[in-house]
Amino acid sequence: MKAIILAGGIGTRLRPLSCTRPKLLFPVLNKPLLDITIERLAKAEVNGLTLAVKYMAEIFMQRYGESKHGIKISYSIEKKPMHTGGAIKYAEELIGHKEPFLVLNGDIFSTIDYKALIAQHKENNAIATIALCKVEDPSRYGTVKLTKENMITQFVEKAPLGKAPSNLINAGVYVLDPKIFDYIPAGRPVSIEREVFPKLAKENKLFGYQFNEIWIDIGKPADYLRANRVLLDNEQQKHLFGDNVKVDSDVEFNNPVRIDSDVTIGQNSKVGPYTILGRGVVLGKNVSIENSVVFPNATIEDNASVRGAVIGEETTIGASAEIMEGCVIGDYASIHPNVTVGKGVTVCHSKEVTENVANSDRII
Ligand code: GTP
């Protein structure tokens, strides 16, 4: 079985952290999301993977090379962004016409049973089978009208609130028959959701596979934090440490927490709940951090506090600084001591912040 992962998006909604790394390499429980996805594909006996890349393509090629977890990896490198459908068409030669193949949006974490999805696709003799999951607010996604026989008779992308045909959304995981290539025009960007699925639905060639396993999209900072939170909840071990973690006296951990290797935590600090510290992170004394993800090698100095934020790689949060809910601090940024960064602020990578920042401001 072959699979293609759509990995070429710019990830504008995850800026500024996506300015310095592709969205698919954001760490989820301290591991790049794409590593987790490839491991899951290997378990489902996928043996050939095409990464459809454009933005920061070379980072993927350097990191994954020609194979990973026994899966042979090829790269479809777009000259311009081809969007979801266009990217699949662009990879036609690498995928070939022999058998159905899996397609994954790379910015999704899911524990979906790929084998069951593939089996259902084959039973229905479909051109496309879309994995579907139920959500409360489907307005951000593609929604479907599904018959009892799992045939999709209507596919609507981002229907206005109250106008969606159901709460079943396109989970960004599909099985496609090679006949799909005849439905995608070549040489230009194509949205499979807007141009191809609605057409297949009209022709009764589109099917759905409902699943109840975990499904999380990491597209926006709040989603990204939520993904880490859900997975921490889902872990058996609520308090997991890597190697060589140094914890000073009177540190309070409120589970769940996940601490990677080589982390140092100073006296009287409070860590958690829902806190993930990447490799080499240093917390000073009396630091308080909760509901946050800290990327590797960041430093949070004495008496600083961080709540509900994502802190980039090698960032410094100065002594007694306060980082409030919804903040995203880019890599290598420096927040000076005693500065308060208000709710929902984004700070671009490498910026120095020397004064208090008002809620929702953007430091660019
Ligand atoms: P935003 O800019 O924040 O919307 O993110 P994005 O650019 O990643 O777009 P979106 O979230 O809609 O993309 C869904 C999936 O498709 C992600 O895994 C993207 O990497 C991928 N994707 C989006 N556009 C392209 C493209 O032009 N080419 C390829 N190969 N993949 C794409």
170 closest CA partner among 197, 205, 142, 151: 142
State how far the Cα of 228 lies from the Cα of 118, in Å rounded to an integer: 28
Look at ligand 1, atom 18, and give the residue with the nearest C-alpha. 106
Looking at the chain, which residues constitute the CATH 2.160.10.10 domain(s)?
235-363
pLDDT tens for the chain, residues 1 to 364:
999 999 999 999 999 999 999 999 999 999 999 999 999 999 999 999 999 999 999 999 999 999 999 999 999 999 999 999 999 999 999 999 999 999 999 999 999 999 999 999 999 989 999 999 999 888 889 999 999 999 999 888 888 888 888 999 999 999 999 999 999 999 999 999 999 999 999 999 999 999 999 999 999 999 999 999 999 998 888 788 999 999 999 999 999 999 999 999 999 999 999 999 999 999 999 999 999 999 999 999 999 999 999 999 999 999 999 999 999 999 999 999 999 999 999 999 999 999 999 999 999 9
Please tell me the distance between residue 6's alpha carbon and the centre of ligand 1 in angstroms. Answer: 7
Q: Is 351 in the pocket of ligand 1 (CB under 6 A)?
A: no
265 closest CA partner among 243, 283, 288: 283
The CATH class of 2-222 is: alpha beta
Q: Thinking of the domain 235-363, which architecture would CATH place it in?
A: 3 Solenoid (2.160)
Looking at the chain, which residues constitute the CATH 3.90.550.10 domain(s)?
2-222
> Could you tell me the CA-to-CA distances from 58 to 77, 105, 313 in Å, in that order?
9, 19, 20
If 0-12 CB within 10 Å is exposed, 13-18 middle and 19+ buried, where does residue 43 land? Answer: exposed
Please tell me the distance between residue 171's alpha carbon and the centre of ligand 1 in angstroms. Answer: 14
pTM (predicted TM-score): 0.93
Look at ligand 1, atom 8, and give the residue with the nearest C-alpha. 9
Substitution candidate for ligand 1 out of 50, 60, 83 with most atoms within 8 A of CB: 83
Catalytic residues: 158
